[in-house]
């Protein structure tokens, strides 16, 4: 099954207020994420979050100085082909670890998260986002997944989760500011079923706003 199908299926199973292990579909059927499936999803993410190439960068080049590798541009989220897929992959690992803390890959997942989501890496990512030419970078799809990752870490009662959440703060503040600045200017919704879709961009932002009570 292609990587995108795996990610879609995992999101369908897990992006729900109920437990990821047991979710009722609109048709009334119970969908259950097994430990075996969680292991497969974890393996998919672990294989890709450190894989720098192939990569589809979405940044604007202002000059020769901007011709840098993905890892130099965004050291935390440089794997998985593009930035938002990397953020999604990290979210998936956190979600799996919360739902299946005894998973055999648990320690490997913890090490992978700690390796990428460091204070230094996120400060570098924040600096990249603050560049004038990065103003629309990953808008709104990547922004939305970043807020989803932030909430997942915030609700994880684990010392590692609390530490990683703090590391995300500089970029979190920037992305929240981008939401507040950009969406009031949008005079009509973008309804195309791709990454620029307004509804998806606002769905996780609404979850974030409700949990943050703002």
Give the pLDDT mean for 177-186: 96
What phi and psi values does residue 123 have, to the nearest 5 degrees?
Answer: -65, -40
Q: For strands 23-24 and 30-31, give the pairing.
A: antiparallel
Kindly tell me if the per-residue pLDDT of 2 is higher than 70: no
62 pLDDT exceeds 60? yes
Percent of the chain having pLDDT more than 70? 86
pLDDT tier at 27, thresholds 50, 70, 90: low
Quote the pLDDT of residue 150. 98
Asked which of 26-40, 56-70, 117-131, 174-188 is least confident by mean pLDDT, the reply is: 26-40
Split at pLDDT 50, 70, 90, the class of 5 is very low
CA distances from 7 to 38, 85, 189 (A): 12, 9, 25
Q: Determine phi and psi for 117, rounding to 5 degrees.
A: -90, 70
Please give the average per-residue pLDDT across 161-173, as a whole number. 98
190-211 burial code (b ≥16 CB/10 A, e <16): eeeeebebeebbbbbbebbeee
């Amino acid at each position: 099954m292609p990587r995108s199908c795996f990610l879609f299926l995992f999101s369908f199973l897990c992006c729900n207020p109920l437990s990821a292990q047991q979710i009722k579909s609109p048709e009334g059927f119970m969908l259950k994420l097994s430990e075996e499936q969680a292991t497969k999803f974890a393996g998919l993410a672990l294989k890709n979050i450190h894989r720098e190439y192939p990569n589809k960068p979405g940044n604007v080049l202002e000059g020769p100085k901007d011709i840098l590798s993905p890892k130099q541009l965004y050291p935390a989220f440089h794997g998985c082909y593009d930035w938002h897929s990397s953020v999604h992959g990290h979210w998936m690992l956190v979600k799996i670890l919360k739902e299946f803390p005894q998973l055999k890959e648990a320690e490997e997942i913890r090490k992978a998260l700690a390796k990428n989501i460091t204070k230094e890496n996120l400060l570098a990512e924040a600096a990249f986002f603050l560049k004038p030419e990065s103003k629309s970078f990953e808008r709104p799809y990547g922004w939305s997944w970043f807020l989803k990752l932030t909430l997942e870490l915030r609700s994880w009662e684990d010392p590692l989760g609390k530490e990683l959440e703090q590391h995300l703060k500089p970029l979190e503040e920037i992305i929240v500011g981008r939401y507040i600045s950009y969406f009031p200017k949008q005079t009509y919704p973008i309804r195309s079923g791709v990454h620029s879709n307004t509804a998806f961009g606002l769905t996780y932002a609404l979850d974030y706003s409700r949990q943050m009570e703002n």
